Amino acid sequence: MQSETFKKFDPKRVPSPCFVIDEVAVERNLAVLKHVQQQSGAKVLAALKAFSCWSLAPLFRQYLSGICASGYHEARLGYEEFNQQGKQGEVHVFSAAYSDKELGKILPIADHIIFNSFSQWEKFSAFVAQYNQQYSQKPVNIGLRINPQHSEGTTEIYDPCAAGSRLGIPITEFSGKNLTGISGLHFHTLCEHGLEPLRRTLAVVEEKFADYLPQMQWINFGGGHLVSDPEYDVDGLIDLIRSFAKKYDVQVYLEPGEAVAINTGVLVSEVLDVSYTDQPQIILDTSATCHMPDTLEMPYRANIHLYGGEKAGHLDEYACNYRVGGMTCLAGDVMGDYSFRGPIKIGERIMFDDMSHYTMVKTTTFNGIGLPSIAIWNSNTDALNIVKEFSYSDFKHRLS
């Protein structure tokens, strides 16, 4: 589904390339997640790995219970920016493995720390216990990530339950383990899924981990829940959470990433060249590999639309076909083959749709390509604020 509000956004209003985020669309998604919180009793956390635009943190504070992080930097960002009117929002942290140095910095700012293996927990359990004894007024809750070994994903690179996965502890590893100090379990197995995959996953979790769920104070259902999609069964999710929480007397957490920022932003790009090899080519001032890597990793073909609402189609759908590519030396730096109603001209602006989540957080400066600027737009008032522009200094000072 395309971000329909951007039909009326003139891409010439921002520097190119530029991520443009519609704060109205973000708030619409957050309102759905807050509704789930209020009606189900679950606490919803924003996954900063998917969307970390802290200029919008004041908006997040109004709707969600906190953030989840994948390491110290995200945890610190959540701790510093995503608080709630002077009262700190919750900070949950999971990493496939922690270093001694990193964990020492995470402990003072985290509410929950989740370990990925028993070996990591056994290594740090005494350290955590000592910290909690010293700071008993604000002890850190400790959890374990489990792997129910039940796949719902179709793309292996994004499937934490794929064979050979390094993420989560299978039930076979629990035998004979001491769970003293563990207050919760975490599973994250979904990616862009509706309710039924969660329902099936939860049934497997209940079956395999039946001996351990009653011992817990909280259960984290992870992310991958596409709750803000219009087709998502929100009422069904609320009922499922209520039932599970009552059955085991636990606090349920959700940590959606995509649901926060889906259909909220575009990547504006300018046509630098139109040429012909064995087919017509468009070269942009942006890059798939640098600025929208999921189009290569998933892979998928992002939707394109032009000012006024005209959409690019699939090959041969309209009169003019082009291969659209980036400006790097990587031969595969290609967004895809697109069909337009008329010829595309040098200097024309195009917008790649749905480029807020899992895109802004993955940008690189490969080939020395500049990072896209960041702008926040209000589709109701038409107010526009360019919150970040990058320069040579940003490229230089990350290298030495």
pLDDT tens digits, 112-135: 999 999 999 999 999 999 999 998
> Tokens 């009262």 sit at which residue?
87
The angle that helices 234-248 and 23-40 make with each other, rounded to 10 degrees, is: 40
- Enumerate the β-bridge partners of residue 87: 84
User: Which of 113, 256, 100, 260 lies closest to 190, judged by CA?
Assistant: 256
Indicate the SS3 state at residue 292.
Answer: coil
pLDDT tens digits, residue range 193-222? Answer: 999 999 999 999 999 999 999 999 999 999
Cα–Cα distance for residue pair 84/69, rounded to 1 Å: 17
Pairing of strands 141-145, 320-325: unpaired
**Confidence check: pLDDT of 58 > 60:** yes
**Confidence check: pLDDT of 308 > 90:** no
> Tokens 């789930």 sit at which residue?
36
pLDDT bucket at 28, cuts 50 / 70 / 90:
very high
First vs last Cα of the chain: how many Å apart?
Answer: 42
Core vs surface per residue 46-73: b (16+ CB within 10 A) or e: bbbbbbbbbebbeebbebbbbbbbebbe
Model-level pTM greater than 0.75?
A: yes
Residue 34 exposure: Cα atoms within 13 Å on the Cβ side: 12
| Domains of the chain in sequence order | 4-20+264-396 (2.40.37.10), 41-261 (3.20.20.10)
Indicate the SS3 state at residue 219.
Answer: strand
- Give pLDDT, residue 136: 86
- Give pLDDT, residue 157: 86
Answer whether 206's CB lies under 8 Å from 200's CB: no
* Mean pLDDT within 261-269: 96
